[in-house]
């Protein structure tokens, strides 16, 4: 169910009320609430929740939810906790304190909407489905800030839907059409889709090789938001493997199970440009998503094959499961040569090793541009999408050289996440000093609900990118 968020100046007499709790703040509440909070040992930590029922009173229930130190993160946690705690209400009114900042209001709206998300291919029965249909924000609040949070949340949820969709449905063509339909619904975003024949005519050998094993052919999608007066051009590239079996270098069953998420990068960059367009950010953005299914069949590419990428670079395939970099190489080379980016950023669920280095809640960042790395890290920090920069050691590059082609797509020297990043940098061409790579393998998915994240796809990267793009404006 879609959660509606409304603003009103007057609180009225709601059935269900939600109030923020600040840590160690005397006199926040009347005697009854103060005593209740003490008995409940509520400390006002961000997202900490208690509900006081008064069966015959009005409000019938008061939700007391911590905002910790406040700020964007505190209010996002408040929103997420409220959505979860009040899922059996139909409507809740939030008593807003005066003076909330723009960031706090948009964070609140994001927390509310993002945590309300459930992906169900088959609808839940009525007794199990969340009932919460609206949250009323009562108080003085900047409506535009709330709207911005809602927009950011909505595009993030689109990304989650795309990632969660099972790969029986999610073919490259299907995903390309989803991107097209979403762009058309927003308006102002140009769409170009390369079909397999066009990919062949123009020399996108990496995308064709990886997609060659599937009857459900590959696509390349370009989405362009070019507002008048924009002075900077950002190119965002996203890995879009709609299912990764590993190909002939096949994955074991357990490692394959969730490989529908292997287009999380593509989903995030597509969602980000839609968000930027809806927010009318005054920066030109081109999104490129190579989409392919890495399948096993007699037409699949093989270990030992040599692939010629767009622009003429070549890769010796040592492992067909290192397919992400092979499709990204085409897109990066194309972007660097044709699109004159001021920034070239790729997002990809690229290596299992990323989870080994950094665990489930931190993505890996690579860049030779310190200012860009810093700005992306800060944007991620603000929205709750953490990343950590890893090195690009120059002397590791030699391990990527092939005897028979320019590069190999897989090595056995350890540092799998680093080696993949070094490979991509070679295809960023003249834009390599303005390039950043985000390996988001572990963070694209979560096994349990946590703050604003619901179980399953996270939409990771969408909010970070929108935040970073808005700083360029
Ligand atoms: N899509 C996987 C990476 C991945 C693993 C993403 C787990 C999310 C969760 C990628 O295509 C892959 O298979 N990478 C290989 C590379 C290796 C063959 C060099 C890997 O990480 O094992
Ligand atoms: Mn793979
Ligand atoms: Zn993959």
Instruction: Report pTM.
Output: 0.98
How many Cα atoms are found within 13 Å in the side-chain-facing hemisphere of 299?
9
Domain ranges of the chain: 4-141, 157-472
Could you give the CA distance from residue 463 to residue 151 in angstroms, rounded to a whole number?
A: 10
C-alpha 454 to ligand 2 mean position (Å): 25
157-472 maps to which CATH number? Answer: 3.40.630.10
For all residues of the chain together, what is the average pLDDT? 97
Residue identified by tokens 């304190």 is 97
Active site residue 76: no
91-95 and 134-138 beta bridge pairing = parallel
Mean per-residue pLDDT, 262-276: 99
CB atoms within 10 A of CB 163: 28
Is any ligand 1 atom within 6 A of the Cβ of residue 351? yes
**DSSP-assigned letters across all residues of 335-352:** HHHHS--SEEEEEE---T
The β-bridge partners of 286 are: 224, 235
Convert the pLDDT of each residue in 154-183 to its tens digit: 999 999 999 999 999 999 999 999 999 999
Which letter does DSSP use for residue 217 in this model? -
Which CATH number describes the domain made up of 4-141?
Answer: 3.40.220.10
pLDDT of residue 276: 98
Query: In the prediction, which pLDDT does 122 show?
Result: 83
Measure 322 CA to ligand 3 centroid, in angstroms.
Answer: 7
The lowest-confidence range among 126-130, 273-277, 286-290 is: 126-130
For the question of residue 251 being annotated catalytic, the response is: yes
Please write the tens of the pLDDT for every residue from 326-383.
999 999 999 999 999 999 999 999 999 999 999 999 999 999 999 999 999 999 999 9
CB-ligand 1 contact for 452 (6 Å cutoff) = no
Residue 1 pLDDT: 58
Check 60, 118, 251, 386 and give the catalytic one.
251
């Amino acid at each position: 169910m879609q959660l509606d968020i409304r603003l009103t100046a007057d609180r009225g007499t709601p059935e269900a009320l939600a109030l923020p709790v600040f840590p160690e703040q005397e006199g926040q509440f009347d005697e009854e609430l103060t005593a209740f909070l003490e008995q409940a040992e509520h400390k006002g930590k961000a997202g900490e929740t208690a509900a006081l029922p008064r069966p015959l009173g009005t409000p019938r229930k008061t939700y007391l939810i911590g905002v910790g130190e406040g700020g964007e993160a505190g209010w996002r946690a408040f929103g997420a906790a409220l959505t979860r705690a009040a899922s059996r209400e139909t409507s809740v009114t939030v008593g807003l304190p005066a003076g909330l900042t723009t960031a706090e209001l948009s964070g609140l709206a994001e927390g509310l909407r993002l945590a309300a998300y459930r992906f169900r291919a088959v609808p839940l029965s009525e007794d199990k489905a969340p009932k919460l249909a609206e949250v009323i924000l009562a108080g003085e609040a900047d409506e535009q800030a709330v709207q911005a949070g809602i927009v950011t949340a909505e595009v993030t949820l689109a990304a989650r839907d795309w990632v969660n969709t099972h790969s029986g449905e999610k073919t490259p063509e299907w995903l390309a059409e989803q991107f097209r339909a979403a762009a058309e619904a927003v308006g102002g975003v140009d769409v170009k889709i390369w079909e397999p024949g066009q990919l062949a005519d123009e020399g996108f050998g990496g995308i064709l090789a990886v997609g060659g094993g599937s009857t459900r052919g590959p696509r390349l999608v370009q989405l362009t938001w070019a507002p008048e007066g924009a002075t900077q051009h950002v190119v965002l590239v996203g890995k879009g493997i709609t299912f990764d079996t590993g190909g002939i270098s096949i994955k074991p069953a357990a490692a394959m199970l969730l490989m529908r998420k292997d287009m999380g990068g593509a989903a995030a960059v597509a969602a980000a440009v839609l968000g930027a367009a809806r927010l009318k950010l005054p920066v030109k953005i081109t999104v490129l998503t190579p989409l392919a299914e890495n399948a096993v069949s007699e037409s699949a590419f093989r270990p030992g094959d040599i692939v010629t990428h767009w622009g003429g670079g070549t890769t010796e395939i040592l492992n067909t499961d290192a397919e992400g970099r092979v499709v990204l190489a085409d897109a990066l080379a194309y972007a660097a040569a044709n699109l004159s980016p001021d920034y070239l950023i790729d997002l990809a669920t690229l290596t299992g090793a990323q989870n080994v280095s950094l665990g489930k809640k931190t993505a890996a960042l690579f860049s030779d541009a310190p200012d860009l790395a810093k700005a992306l890290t800060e944007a991620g920090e603000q929205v709750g999408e953490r990343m950590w920069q890893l090195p690009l050691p120059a002397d590791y590059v030699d391990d990527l050289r092939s005897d028979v082609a320019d590069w190999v797509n897989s090595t056995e020297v350890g540092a799998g996440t680093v080696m993949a990043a070094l490979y991509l940098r070679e295809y960023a061409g003249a834009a390599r000093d303005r390039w950043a790579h985000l390996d988001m393998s572990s963070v694209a998915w979560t096994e349990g609900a946590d703050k604003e994240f619901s179980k399953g796809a996270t939409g990771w990267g969408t909010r970070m990118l929108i935040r970073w793009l808005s700083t360029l404006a």
